[in-house]
Amino acid sequence: MKTPALIYSLFFALTLSLTAADKPNFVIIFTDDQGYGDLSCFGGTHVSTPRIDQMAKEGQRLTSFYVAAPVCTPSRAALMTGSYPKRVNMATGSNFGVLLAGDSKGLNPEEITIAEVLKSAGYKTGMFGKWHLGDQLEFLPTRQGFDEYYGIPFSHDIHPFHPNQKKHKFPPLALLDQETVIEMDPDADYLTKNLTERAVAFIEKNKDDPFFLYVPHPIPHKPLHVSPPFMEDVPQEIKDKLKQEGDKIDYNTRNKIFRQAIDEIDWSVGEILDSLKKHKVDENTLVIFLSDNGPAVGKAGPLKGRKGSTFEGGMREPTVIRWPGKIPAGKENTELMTAMDLLPTFAKLAGASIPSDRVIDGKDIWPVLVEEARTPHQAFFYHRGNDLQAVRSGKWKLHVGKRQNPTALFDLDKDIGEKTNVLADNAGVATRLLEHITTFEADLKANSRPAAFVENPKPLAK
């Protein structure tokens, strides 16, 4: 287990030149299964996101921003650790693509999370939402650097109402406050509302201290849920069908309230931004909005692929970043950046050091955001589970088979939708990208870290 001495003395060595007043606050709003086209400021006409659109006008749209996996658990592991999921053995659950209820596997407590990096610099840390990095006590957010936690341990469809329940036999879904289960099978219609209220309360409570707020919303992952105020314009026929659900969830009908689910997400973003202004910390707060992977119900816009895919639609996310007076406003930033970059970037801005005893794949992207610098990534690697399926370097993206034989090459500057395979005409480019893969795979083999496992895991229960 980690010890305070290990964290504070060995890894972080605070930069004392920054006073508390100099340290910016950080807010990550992380939705679930929201596609590249599921914001109106990213071209979506099936949704309305005025608060996020305004955030984009006051900040930047990051149009080549990636997560490190096309599904929940590995994407979140990469965000927390700044490392590729395969490097920290979190590319899958113990026997499924993601962690399930009562899984013996979880994010290793010896990992140094973004929350712990910021705690080392004197930050208050709070998380309100979906964790999905292990539901056993040793793996909970409170053991990974968060002072406050309120939310669910994994996706809200991992419950007895799952359509494949005969196969999975999922237990009731637990709602936790800190490490205590306070409710079983909570009313999912109120998840977005309740998480938002807790996030706003955290801002008020910590307005006089530097803080890190992480809000990983469970929505718009299926089944879709929204609170009553956002159901007012839903056709009566859909409302009537939902009233008849009983002990089963009507996934097909709930898919039809996608726009309302995004409406409530947009409302939530607005509540958080309004709270920052109310408590006069707006101009000292960096806020970033993104999703964990591509869409299951929504749209990927011009991108090919969806959730679970290593085509762009599975891993390129609709991302908006804002920090008044610091990040230039009203811009589209097309440079390649990743969720893994947030840990080293926030560490730099907070005056904290990142661990020096392990490989961190994320890079400091602050110059890219404010100085129009080029991406610090020579290459970005796309995995599905533990399989490396593609690599991007500059404008080129190469897809490979299981034996790393090239299968397709795309010029993303000209062909964001990956429609025209130009491999036959660019053998030299393919060879160069394969060299990136060879180097990276060798590095992973030499510098990987284990996940953690517990004996006799049990599902959470009240």
Question: Distances from the Cα of 220 to the Cαs of 5, 142, 260, 287, 298, in angstroms?
Answer: 40, 25, 10, 20, 8
Q: Is the distance from CB of 289 to CB of 37 less than 8 angstroms?
A: no
Choose, from 132, 159, 225, 399, the residue flagged as catalytic: 132
Phi/psi at 190 (5° precision): -105, 5
Known catalytic residue: 132?
A: yes
Per-residue b/e over 96-113, b at no fewer than 16 CB within 10 Å?
Answer: ebbbbbbbbbbbbeebbb
Do strands 60-62 and 331-333 pair parallel, antiparallel, or not at all (unpaired)?
Answer: parallel
Chain-centroid distance of CA 331 in Å reads: 22
Known catalytic residue: 72?
A: yes
Do strands 337-338 and 65-66 pair parallel, antiparallel, or not at all (unpaired)?
Answer: parallel
Give the separation between CA 448 and CA 445, rounded to whole angstroms: 6
Collapsed DSSP state (helix, strand, coil) of residue 106 = strand
Do strands 396-400 and 60-62 pair parallel, antiparallel, or not at all (unpaired)?
Answer: unpaired
Q: Token pair of 270, please?
A: 């607005």
Per-residue b/e over 275-313, b at no fewer than 16 CB within 10 Å?
Answer: bbeebebbebbbbbbbbbbbbbbbbbbbbbbbbbbbbbb
Sign of CA dihedral 303, 304, 309, 311: negative
Question: Is the omega angle on the peptide bond into residue 163 within 30 degrees of 0, that is, cis?
Answer: no
Choose, from 46, 72, 156, 217, the residue flagged as catalytic: 72
Phi/psi at 44 (5° precision): -70, 125
Which residues are marked as active site?
A: 72, 132
